[in-house]
Structure 1
Amino acid sequence: MGTLVCFSTGVEAQVLRDTGAPLANTKSAPTPIQYPDDYFFNLQPLGAGLGRSLANYGVYINGRTFNNAVEQPSGGVRKGTFYEGYTLLGVDLDMNRIAGIHGGALHFYVNDMNGINYFKYSGALYPFNRVWSYNAASRLNEFSYEQRLFDDRVDVRVGRLPPGPEFDFSSTYCRIVTGFCAVPAPYAYAKGYPAYNTASWAGVLQVKLTNAYYVNAGVYENEPALATVNHYGWPGEDWSSDKARGAVFPVQFGYRTSYTNDLYPKSYDIGFFYNTGDYTDSLYNTQGKILAFSGGTPQLDHGNSGLWAQGEQVLWRPDPTNDRGLSAFGGVNIATSGQNNIRDTFSGGLSVKGLFEARPHDTINFAAMYMALNDEFVDAQNDKLLAHKINGSMASSEAFAEVNYQLALAPGTYFQPFFDYIWHPDEVGLATPNPTVTHAVFVGAAISVAFPEALGLPRLARFGS
């Protein structure tokens, strides 16, 4: 889904957020494939020739897969082992080579999700993992047209779009398995438009103000049906405007540098969104009575908004000729209106790439997140306890931490063991919360593959990368 922070680990960031459109760069030919020798194996020669041939005709094959096996040995609502998997496959078409339209590109992606969601084991909905197979299915992920304008300083993307990294995104988040899904949990759940695994009608504008400063703005259809019915973005009744419940307007202003112009690359941004749509209230029914005691249909709340600020900075580089080094990242999300279940969130972490000189593409990653829950949501959870005559109370906050090691097996191919600890699972949606569930522990391992990097396929260059 979109623009990458420039000093990210190229391959790795794209492995986790390819659902956005790589934007056409028609000024240069595909970059020659280099065959590295510091991996365990290398599959790039298998696809390099085919990829170059297709690129000569303006066709770029794109995709990725991410699969993880997880064990919950302690805490949560259910112990055991489970699996989740996500695969994306699509094509980017350079319309300059195909039809002579300078800066134009068409993008078509489909995906498949399978397995069991973390929530069924942890009882924690908000610290989700990158697959987030809440409803396992195949989906249309994107069908869009993009156009660069004004000497490639402006880019417009319209069509059926997933949310992209143009808003509240850091490339380093993609090194974390749980809690971010490339955007922080509070933004993912409060923004009102679809998750990354499906798409709604939308338009996104990106403008380079200077080589370092930029502004992004967008409008997304708020379409709750995408999360509740089984067509998941494929052409059907959800493509008509009568399914829209409002619109979401995000804006982000940022500054970023890269290894080409900064010894210690950095990225900082601040953003805001407003959602005109409606969503169900956690505490009251349509008669204004407490749901836990009176039942009935949840009341609809209208409109919500929030702001975010985040930063990412390379702190140390042992060798200025490569991208090995230590990076720090952090962010805050603040709800400014509405009744979001998550009120405020603070997150941060560290990432070390190439700690061992012999393993320059491996990363060691740590992240933590603290979520202050909405008072109304906490009251609703405690009312459920009272209604069921259960002693105790639910926590007013939730937190998690993760440490992982991302082992580069081959170009674009990673093996990633990880350990997660969740404090006070939120137990969202459970008819009878359990106040004795104070934590959840996950131990697992993931395999991820970015098909272009793994098979030596060229990519269509991304705007702003």
Structure 2
Amino acid sequence: MTSRTFGRWRAGYASLAIIGSFLVAGTANAYSAFAPDSPYMFGDWGGERTALKEAGVSFDFDYVGEAATILDGGYRDSHVTKYADQFAVGANVDLERLLSLPGADIQITVTNRNGHSANDRLGDPDATVGGSNVQEVQGRGPVTRLTQFWYRQRFFDDALVVKLGRIPFGDDFATIDSNFQNLAFGGAQPGNWGNNIYNWPISQWAAVVKTRFTPEWYAQIGAFNINDSNLKNDNGFELRTSGTDGTMFPVELGYTPMLDGMAGAYKLGFYTHDVDNRAYGAHPETRTSDTNTGLYYVIQQQVTTRGGNPDRGLTLFSMGNANHGDTAGIDRYVSVGATYAGPFDSRPQDDAGIGLAYLHVNDDVDDYVDYYNAIPGNALPPLPRQGHEYDAELYYSFNLTGYLTLRPNLQYVVNPSAVDTVDNAWVAGTTVQASF
């Protein structure tokens, strides 16, 4: 995106903000502008926001910005600070309220990402496979995209749900509630380490069918069109299907119990697709394989309450992912951690978290690196061997109002980009979230 285009986008966003301020200035409403208990900075738009929602149209205007400063270590050992952010503008249309179409709704979301990542100075630029990212919001480049554009139909009191349209993989599969800034602790981890899986903000044509056997058990299956042209910045609003590479089929079984009033989520998933990918190993010519499969799990369970309040207490989590060894760059991933909601009586809306993640680079990658570096007369710099990376993060969320959160964090990265000759790094981060 050019600076002029970005300027126009920001100007348009600012205009929406100004319009919102005028709307809230006129009349009394449930939430006035900048009220601390309001979920939106600009309040209820003089009652218009609630009226629109009751009519079937809900709006979201959200912002997230993430700063990261390398305090020590990394490939370049420089104390650099980088900032990345995302604007998201969304609308949900309840067709049951608007058009008397039972159980139907439409979601449209446009995102705009900008900025740079401290990982440019953290990891080895010659590494064959990348590691995690200390600013998860930075991925997929500075561009405006159509991130969600789907139709959903519910049947039999939500026992069967069908969803069609432009859908990011992480909307429905391997989801988890997360406030961490490091990518290794966010949702939809198969999209971070698997081949041809597009996470937010990338969308693709897809269909998802979900059935709920009981209030606690469900199963779902998806079919996602794979088209690498979706990754290009110029195609942020491109809806074509020409150039299709193949199809991915994820399947997930889930259990969502309430144990003594405490919510849990247990998910086990599998995916496969038929797109040719590079097959690593020691061989004189680049080989490909269309065998791309993976397994994943997600566990998240609240285990305590605070004073009997289920909105406060300790929650434990773990995620894991194993990818096919022939084509996977990262073939094993696992994370564990804990979060605590409402740690102090004086600040019951705050939360804190700690997490540890492990990434393992496929051994076949080093076989390729050894072969490449041994080529006689190779004038290019040697590639680094890769093994594993550890990521740790500790954060505290100051939920200052219902619409504004400030979340400082401290991260420690062992073997950035899974190269053990790169110095371990300390990174100080800060996340800002706002809902307008």
**Structure 1 residues 174-203: Cα deviation after superposition (integer angstroms, max 9, x where no partner):** 211103363254542315232211211101
Q: 2:428 aligns with which of 407, 432, 443?
A: 443
Seen in structure 2, the aligned counterparts of structure 1 residues 282 and 77 have a Cα distance that, compared at 3 Å, is farther
Residue 390 of structure 2 corresponds to 399
State how far apart, in whole Å, the 2-side matches of 1:303 and 1:48 are. Answer: 56
Tell me by how many angstroms 1:57 deviates.
2.4
Residue 20 of structure 1 corresponds to none
Residue 234 of structure 1 corresponds to 237
* Number of positions where the alignment pairs a residue of Structure 1 with one of Structure 2: 396
Residue 13 of structure 2 corresponds to none
Q: 1:358 aligns with which of 331, 346, 363?
A: 346
Contact 2:185 2:357 (8 Å CA) reproduced: no
State how far apart, in whole Å, the 2-side matches of 1:41 and 1:336 are. Answer: 43
State how far apart, in whole Å, the 1-side matches of 2:427 and 2:41 are. Answer: 32
Tell me by how many angstroms 1:321 deviates.
3.0
State how far apart, in whole Å, the 1-side matches of 2:422 and 2:391 are. Answer: 14
Tell me by how many angstroms 1:94 deviates.
0.9
Contact 2:63 2:434 (8 Å CA) reproduced: yes
Residue 216 of structure 1 corresponds to 220
Residue 166 of structure 2 corresponds to 160
Classify the secondary structure of the residue corresponding to 1:131.
helix
Residue 113 of structure 1 corresponds to 113
- TM-score normalised by length of structure 2: 0.82
Tell me by how many angstroms 1:137 deviates.
0.7
Contact 1:349 1:368 (8 Å CA) reproduced: yes
State how far apart, in whole Å, the 2-side matches of 1:122 and 1:332 are. Answer: 24
- TM-score normalised by length of structure 1: 0.78
Is it true that 1:302 corresponds to 2:305 in the alignment? no
Contact 2:190 2:197 (8 Å CA) reproduced: no
Matched to 2:284, the amino acid is K
State how far apart, in whole Å, the 2-side matches of 1:34 and 1:205 are. Answer: 40
Contact 2:174 2:190 (8 Å CA) reproduced: no
Matches for 1:19-58 after TM superposition, within 5 Å: 43=41, 45-47=43-45, 49-58=47-56
Contact 1:86 1:114 (8 Å CA) reproduced: yes
**Structure 1 residues 23-64: Cα deviation after superposition (integer angstroms, max 9, x where no partner):** xxxxxxxxx879999879984744471211111321110242
State how far apart, in whole Å, the 1-side matches of 2:236 and 2:143 are. Answer: 11
Matches for 1:129-144 after TM superposition, within 5 Å: 129-144=135-150
Contact 1:255 1:267 (8 Å CA) reproduced: yes
Contact 2:191 2:199 (8 Å CA) reproduced: no
Percent identity of the aligned residues?
22
Two-structure CA RMSD over aligned residues (Å): 2.9
Matched to 1:115, the amino acid is G
Residue 9 of structure 1 corresponds to none
Classify the secondary structure of the residue corresponding to 2:182.
coil
Is it true that 1:421 corresponds to 2:396 in the alignment? no
Bigger mean CA offset, 105-114 vs 435-444: 435-444
**Structure 1 residues 308-349: Cα deviation after superposition (integer angstroms, max 9, x where no partner):** 122111122122234110111112212245411111111110
Contact 2:66 2:181 (8 Å CA) reproduced: no
Bigger mean CA offset, 335-344 vs 214-223: 335-344
State how far apart, in whole Å, the 2-side matches of 1:443 and 1:302 are. Answer: 40
Residue 60 of structure 1 corresponds to 58
Q: 1:368 aligns with which of 350, 356, 372?
A: 356
Residue 198 of structure 2 corresponds to 194
Contact 1:193 1:223 (8 Å CA) reproduced: no
Q: 1:150 aligns with which of 156, 161, 168?
A: 156
Contact 2:69 2:427 (8 Å CA) reproduced: yes
Matches for 1:293-332 after TM superposition, within 5 Å: 298-332=286-320
